[in-house]
Structure 1
Amino acid sequence: MSLRACGLIIFRLNAGRASTPEAVEFLLLQTSYGKHHWTPPKGHVDQGEDDFQTALRETEEEAGLESKHFNVLEGFKKEINYNVKNVPKTVLYWLAELKDNNIEIKLSKEHQMFCWLNVDEACKRVQYQEMQEALREAHQFISRNTSENK
């Protein structure tokens, strides 16, 4: 048996800090169960659902963000593999930019808090090395793609 989950790494650009590492802020949610860890919105794949549908559904359920609220960036997909209670788990993440920084985040009962953090602060908060690597790769991808589009 193995577990499979999918989600979105959501970010927003802080126009007041353009061209600095703080210009990109990631959305992290704190779980209301277990060790209260921090993570981007994600969840398990339901039967008959494809991975990307799961990522969209979980983002809406956990953060209140619908697909109309963000743009998914082409060319970024990160797979993380780890064990949960000796069971292998795979998590797939896509990268999405929030269209309007004033959109309200609406947490589900699964989460008790959220925050927007730059990449260094986000990596300190998530604690897990695999997730830290995913956030750093996402930040590099955003930096490359936003500098090319100027």
Structure 2
Amino acid sequence: MALRACGFIIFRRLANPAPPPDNIEYLLLQTSYGEHHWTPPKGHVDPGEDDLTTALRETKEEAGLGAEDLRVIDGFLQELHYEVRGRPKEVLYWLAELRDPGTAVTLSDEHQDYRWARLEEACSLAQHRDMQDTLRAAHRHLETWQDKQ
């Protein structure tokens, strides 16, 4: 059975003169273990917990951002499949906007750094192709979603 994890692609809008979506930055956390890779907040599903609850719990634990800080964006759910130490893993990502762009990020011991980055920098930090594709898909979704607002 595959390991299952859930999390959020979190973005914030900057109050700068750039038109949307160029005013968007994504949150990436740098792990304090292994190769110190960069990833959005995510974590394993606890027994009896539903996927969205896991994503919210892990985001609160890893970044200090709770449900009250986030607005989940309709119509985006990305599922990634890959192997970790020879075991299959699946990760579900929702897309969420940080309601107040100035809200502080508070890291857990699992992470040593965080960064808000525009799309191309975020993709460069993410390194893994499937994560880059997920970030680009989120960005495309925001472009079409903003047109409907």
Give the TM-score category using the shorter length. Answer: over 0.9
CA contact (8 A) 1:21 1:118 kept: no
Provide the aligned length of Structure 1 versus Structure 2. 149
Matching residue of 2:59:
59
> Could you report, residue by residue, the CA deviation over 1:87-136 in whole angstroms, capped at 9, with x for unpaired residues?
11000000000100111100000000000001110000000000000000
Q: Unaligned stretches of 5+ in structure 1?
A: none
- SS of 1:22's equivalent? coil
What amino acid sits opposite 1:66 in the alignment?
Answer: G
Equivalence map 1:117-128=2 (5 Å) = 117-128=117-128
Please report how far the alpha carbon of residue 20 of structure 1 lies from its aligned counterpart in structure 2 after TM superposition. 5.3
CA contact (8 A) 1:3 1:44 kept: yes
Query: For residues 34 and 75 of structure 2, what CA distance do their matches in structure 1 show?
Result: 33
What amino acid sits opposite 1:58 in the alignment?
Answer: E
Matching residue of 2:9:
9
- SS of 2:60's equivalent? helix
Task: Report which of the two has the higher share of helix.
Answer: 1
Identity %: 54
Matching residue of 2:135:
135
Equivalence map 1:102-117=2 (5 Å) = 102-117=102-117
Please report how far the alpha carbon of residue 21 of structure 1 lies from its aligned counterpart in structure 2 after TM superposition. 5.0
Please report how far the alpha carbon of residue 147 of structure 1 lies from its aligned counterpart in structure 2 after TM superposition. 2.7
Please report how far the alpha carbon of residue 18 of structure 1 lies from its aligned counterpart in structure 2 after TM superposition. 3.3
What CA RMSD, in Å, does the superposition of the two structures yield over aligned residues?
A: 1.0
Query: For residues 18 and 87 of structure 1, what CA distance do their matches in structure 2 show?
Result: 43
- SS of 2:22's equivalent? helix
Q: Unaligned stretches of 5+ in structure 2?
A: none
CA contact (8 A) 2:21 2:142 kept: no
Query: For residues 18 and 97 of structure 2, what CA distance do their matches in structure 1 show?
Result: 15
Query: For residues 21 and 51 of structure 1, what CA distance do their matches in structure 2 show?
Result: 28
- SS of 1:104's equivalent? coil
Equivalence map 1:48-87=2 (5 Å) = 48-87=48-87
57-66 or 18-27, which deviates more? 18-27
Superposition TM-score, scaled by structure 2 size: 0.97
Which aligned segments of 4 or more residues in structure 1 are displaced greater than 4 angstroms? none
- SS of 1:16's equivalent? coil
What amino acid sits opposite 1:120 in the alignment?
Answer: E
